[in-house]
């Protein structure tokens, strides 16, 4: 017999005046809980609008309440939004019982029945509310019984878990909270657990919002539900909730046909990246977006409401532009197979020494053999198609071989160079979630110390003691030896896995992180092949030609061009370490006629040219093609480089990690183009279309793109070799492809580059800066590069950055510069110099400041961090002290 139960405290309505909470949303609903007893819930409910698209059922976790979803309630036009407080939580009834996961799932079913909810329902959950959301979704969509009239239309989850390994300790904060004698003290007797949860925000919410979260939990009696929720987290194989959690995790297969969205705050110390990787494996069809820099209480940290509503609007809408008829496809490893009998060099590594440079030469025959052995050995080691392999190996023969081996067996190579720094590299590796890590000794030591995911394989020489210390299970040499034994006397096709599909993921390259956290850019095998072909067009290299490259992506693509790649003696993570002598030695070692340098590397080559001997000068004089990319290249820098390499044709391909290359131009063509607003980067490559999305008065770029000459806007590129997508950055990917273009602009995917520029009458592209660095003033939008270039024509100015300071209506332009004669500390430019800069730029600059050095990105050492400069200039001109 079903009875009505009396709890320890009745449900109530929230007090008036809580920020963001409309009183008309609150109601008390009576229904039956998991045991059939009548209970009363506090529910936020927007009601059913006319022509309702369905219902969003939003479930909070611990120690929050339905207030968590106030933004979604306010913005979800066309949807009914229901956000209940769980029993014993928020303003719902206090039952006086300790409710389990199974009971809470049953409670939601009882509440849904009491609400007489029918039709399309999308369930949204956070924290333990996400676990309950998954359990409820399975109960209405699984093979068992389901409530009449409910159509599960989607599931959206924020920082939650589908499973927890049996016997493993709970996450750090929960481990502390569940320690013997601690649980009541921090959860119910005090509000420490609640305050800690509110502290896991980035940034902290306003004080009045924090008070709103505390409102239902003022006394120990009202915090009993918080304690019970924590106590229900599995802490061992015999915990009563472990079995139900395991069952829930296994049953997620029943949601394979339900649209899913995973939103994540990577700074969460509770639900770490492990839980996201587990959810992705169980819901492989889910759309994923990681909000870098955000944490556990994600709906407070990030625009979760906007993300959910965008997802609801975009579902089923194919935004990826058609690629047209696929081009002829030749996988990259095919080039190795075709030259497997050649003893010509394919990779040459040059290392300096007291007795002159030492040279390591790798033939096509050896590279093909080692690549095939590694492919077989990696497959035997358990590297499966589709698994991610982080490659933490410097550019050279070893990285080239293991990359092509991964591509051949269908593993996805993850490439994030050490130039990102420890913090950036950690974020990249953790975000990519590799299944395996192949790295040199110091990389694997960092991987263990920083708890990067993945089984570890050591590359390069390493002692047995260091091998154990890194946690690696084997070495790359041992993997190759295993592969050699498996291949002995056998056709490789009988040993290796089937070749991957051309549309399968092949590699993830991380961006430089110069304008925010580095992003993982996903390429398919077909796109990698197109990428290599496009690079061949700009490098002018082909079979048996030599290319000295201080630019890692081009070094890796060399074999696919048939070219000999020469790796000079330098730290590739620090382009400024390339000297003129090292470049010359590399040219000699590879018999190279082409060189590819970043602007920073080129600048240091010029700066160290005085150390060249006669033979080295002669070697550089034989270079015919000099390429530079990675950041805007000033013609003066190319002209000075041409003095060292008089026969060279300096060229500057333009592109980004997402579409490299896109345009190409020679120094002669730059000079012929003359002065303009920005840097001329030339005409699009064959098969590439460039256009701009015009800027409005606020500096925002339109969705529509135009090719009208002289219109400044965000540069958009369409090409076959544009990236497939950003990894786990669905919202970023959506924004990067949101382009409306005339049908006559050709085929291929569009990519919004984040650069600002314009097209001229000849169709050439001019880059004026980054969208993030434009200055919006009361008089309009100002782009930085043209002004900076004109400032750099002034005697005494070596390099300049334009920034804006002050509120928009009164925003002023400021030039911050490095002087030709370096200054020891920040100083205001002398009046004559400041007047000269103002005259050259044609701008009424508020100030001209001289600094010892402008901050640059970590990868290229060339891109100025204008956001940092602007923030600093704002402080300095306000009277604060401090060096840049």
In contact, 120 and 46? CB cutoff 8 Å: no
Q: Are 388 and 410 in contact (CB under 8 A)?
A: no
| Domain 673-721+734-771: which CATH number of 3.30.530.20, 3.30.1370.60, 2.30.38.10, 3.30.450.80 | 2.30.38.10
Q: What residue has token string 């979760």? A: 304
- Per 3-state DSSP, the chain is made up of helix, strand and coil in percentages (nearest 5) of 35, 25, 40
Portions of the chain given CATH number 3.40.50.1820 = 23-166+236-314
Parts of the chain belonging to CATH 3.30.300.30: 774-877
Considering only CA atoms, which of 397, 806, 759 is closest in space to residue 565? Answer: 397
Q: CATH number of the domain at 333-573, please? A: 3.40.50.12780
Distance, in Å, from the CA atom of 108 to the CA atom of 112, rounded to the nearest integer, reads: 6
326, exposed or middle or buried, with CB in 10 Å at 0-12, 13-18, 19+?
A: exposed
Question: Helix, strand, or coil here: 150?
Answer: strand
Bond preceding residue 226 cis, omega within 30 of 0: no
Count the alpha carbons within 13 Å of 496 in the hemisphere toward its beta carbon.
21
Residue 1 is predicted with a pLDDT of 33
Asked if 149 contacts 158 with a C-beta cutoff of 8 angstroms, the reply is: no
User: How many angstroms separate the first and last alpha carbons of the chain?
Assistant: 74
Give the pLDDT of residue 554.
65
pLDDT score for 747: 67
The token duo for 141 is: 């969509």
Q: What distance in Å separates the CA atoms of residue 769 and residue 785, rounded to the nearest whole number?
A: 5
In this structure, what are the phi and psi dihedrals at residue 298, rounded to the nearest 5 degrees? -60, -40
Q: Which two tokens stand for residue 415?
A: 């490439």
CA dist., res. 145 & res. 682, Å (int): 64
DSSP, collapsed to helix, strand or coil, labels residue 494 as helix
Helix (H) or strand (E) holding 365: helix 364-381
Helical spans, DSSP H, in 88-144: 101-114, 128-141
Averaged over successive runs of 10 residues, the pLDDT of the chain (884 residues) comes to 63 96 97 97 94 95 98 97 98 96 97 95 98 96 78 97 78 75 92 94 95 97 95 85 93 95 96 94 96 96 98 75 64 93 94 86 96 98 97 92 97 88 89 95 93 94 92 96 96 95 96 81 95 84 78 74 89 86 94 88 94 95 88 83 93 91 94 92 94 96 96 96 96 95 82 97 96 93 95 94 92 95 92 96 95 77 83 91 83
The answer to whether the CB of 491 falls within 8 A of the CB of 485 is: no
Distance CA 767, CA 757 (A): 4
Contacts of 399 (CB under 8 A, 6+ apart): 391, 393, 556
The whole-angstrom separation of Cα 413 and Cα 500 is 13
d(CA 714, CA 800): 22
Pairing assessment for the beta strands 38-45 and 80-84 based on DSSP bridges = antiparallel
Radius of gyration of the CA atoms of the chain, in A: 30
Interacting residues of 810 by C-beta distance below 8 A, sequence separation 6+: 778
Q: 23-166+236-314: which CATH topology?
A: Rossmann fold (3.40.50)
Would you state the pLDDT for residue 401? 96
Distance of CA 683 to the CA centre of its chain: 29
Fold of 774-877: GMP Synthetase; Chain A, domain 3 (3.30.300)
Q: How far is CA 535 from the centre of its chain?
A: 24
pTM across the whole model: 0.92
For residue 99, the model assigns a pLDDT of: 96
Q: Are 46 and 210 in contact (CB under 8 A)?
A: no
Structure token pair of residue 815: 């030039």
DSSP letter, residue 169: P
Please say whether the beta carbons of 294 and 202 come within 8 A. Answer: yes
């Amino acid at each position: 017999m079903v009875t009505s139960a009396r709890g320890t405290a009745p449900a109530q309505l929230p007090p008036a005046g809580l920020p963001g909470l409309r009183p008309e949303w609150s109601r008390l609903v009576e229904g039956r809980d998991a045991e059939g007893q009548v209970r009363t819930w506090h529910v936020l409910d927007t009601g059913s609008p006319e022509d309702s698209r369905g219902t969003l059922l939003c479930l909070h976790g611990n120690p929050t309440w339905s207030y968590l979803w106030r933004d979604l309630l306010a913005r979800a036009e066309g949807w009914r939004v229901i956000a209940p407080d769980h029993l014993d939580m928020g303003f719902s009834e206090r039952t006086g019982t300790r409710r389990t996961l199974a009971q809470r799932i049953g409670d939601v079913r009882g509440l849904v029945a009491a609400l007489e909810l029918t039709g399309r329902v999308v369930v949204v959950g956070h924290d333990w509310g996400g676990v309950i959301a998954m359990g409820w979704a399975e109960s209405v969509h699984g093979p068992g019984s389901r409530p009449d009239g409910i159509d599960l239309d989607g599931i959206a989850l924020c920082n939650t878990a589908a499973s927890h390994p049996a016997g493993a300790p709970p996450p750090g904060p929960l481990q502390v909270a569940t320690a013997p004698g601690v649980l009541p003290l921090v959860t119910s007797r005090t509000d420490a657990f609640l305050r800690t949860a509110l502290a896991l925000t980035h940034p902290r919410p306003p004080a009045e919002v924090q008070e709103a979260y505390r409102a239902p939990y003022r006394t120990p009696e009202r915090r009993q539900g918080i304690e019970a929720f924590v106590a229900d987290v599995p802490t061992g194989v015999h915990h009563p909730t472990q079995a139900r959690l395991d069952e829930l995790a296994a049953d997620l297969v029943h949601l394979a046909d339900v649209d899913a969205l995973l939103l994540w705050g990577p700074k969460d110390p509770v639900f770490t990246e492990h839980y996201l990787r587990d959810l992705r494996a169980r819901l492989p069809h889910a759309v994923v977006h990681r909000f870098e820099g955000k944490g556990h209480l994600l709906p407070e940290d990030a625009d979760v409401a906007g993300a959910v509503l965008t997802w609801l609007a975009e579902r089923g809408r194919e935004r990826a532009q058609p690629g047209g008829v696929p081009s002829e496809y030749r996988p990259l490893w095919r080039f190795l197979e075709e030259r497997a009998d050649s003893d010509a060099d394919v990779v040459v590594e040059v290392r300096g020494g007291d007795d002159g440079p030492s040279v390591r030469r790798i033939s096509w025959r050896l590279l093909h053999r080692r690549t095939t052995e590694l492919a077989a050995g990696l497959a035997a080691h358990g590297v499966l198609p589709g698994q991610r392999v982080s490659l933490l190996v410097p550019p050279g023969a070893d990285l080239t071989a293991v990359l092509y081996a991964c591509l051949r067996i269908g593993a996805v190579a993850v490439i994030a160079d050490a130039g990102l720094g420890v913090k950036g590299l950690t974020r990249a590796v953790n975000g990519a979630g590799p299944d395996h890590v192949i790295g040199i000794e110091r990389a694997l030591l960092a991987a263990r110390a920083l708890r990067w995911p993945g089984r570890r394989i050591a590359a390069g020489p390493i002692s047995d003691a260091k091998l154990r210390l890194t946690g690696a299970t084997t070495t790359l040499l041992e993997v190759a030896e295993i592969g050699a034994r498996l291949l002995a006397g056998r056709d490789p096709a009988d040993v290796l896995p089937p070749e991957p599909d051309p549309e399968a993921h092949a590699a993830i390259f991380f961006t430089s992180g110069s304008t925010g956290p580095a992003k993982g850019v996903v390429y398919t095998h077909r796109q990698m092949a197109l990428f290599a072909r496009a690079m061949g067009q700009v490098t002018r290299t082909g079979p048996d030609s030599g290319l000295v490259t201080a630019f890692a992506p081009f070094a890796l693509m060399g074999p696919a061009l048939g070219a000999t790649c020469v790796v000079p003696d330098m730290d590739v993570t620090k382009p400024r370490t390339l000297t003129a002598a090292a470049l010359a030695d590399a040219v000699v070692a590879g018999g190279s006629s082409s060189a590819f340098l970043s602007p920073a590397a080129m600048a240091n080559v010029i700066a160290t040219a005085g150390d060249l001997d006669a033979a080295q000068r002669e070697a550089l004089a034989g270079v015919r093609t000099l390429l530079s990319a990675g950041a805007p290249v000033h013609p003066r820098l190319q002209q000075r480089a041409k003095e060292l390499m008089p026969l060279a044709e300096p060229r500057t391909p333009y592109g980004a990690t997402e579409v490299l290359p896109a345009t190409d131009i020679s120094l002669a063509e730059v000079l012929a183009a003359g002065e303009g607003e920005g840097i001329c980067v030339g005409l699009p490559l064959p098969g590439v279309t460039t256009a701009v999305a015009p800027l409005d008065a606020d500096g925002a770029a339109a969705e529509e793109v135009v090719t009208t000459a002289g219109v400044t806007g965000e540069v958009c590129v369409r090409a076959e070799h544009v990236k497939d997508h950003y990894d786990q950055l669905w919202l970023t990917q959506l924004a990067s492809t949101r382009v409306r273009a005339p049908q006559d602009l050709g085929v291929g995917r569009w990519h919004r580059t984040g650069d600002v520029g314009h097209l001229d009458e000849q169709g050439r592209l001019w880059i004026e800066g980054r969208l993030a660095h434009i200055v919006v003033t009361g008089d309009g939008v100002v782009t930085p590069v043209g002004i900076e270039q004109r400032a750099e024509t002034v005697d005494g100015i070596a390099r300049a950055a334009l920034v804006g300071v002050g509120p928009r209506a009164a925003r002023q332009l400021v030039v911050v510069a490095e002087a030709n004669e370096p200054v020891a500390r920040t100083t205001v430019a002398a009046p004559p110099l400041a007047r000269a800069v103002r005259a050259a730029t044609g701008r009424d600059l508020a100030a001209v400041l001289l600094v010892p050095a402008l901050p640059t990105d970590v990868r290229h050492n060339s891109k100025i961090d204008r956001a940092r400069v602007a923030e600093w200039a704002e402080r300095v001109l306000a009277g604060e002290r401090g060096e840049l």
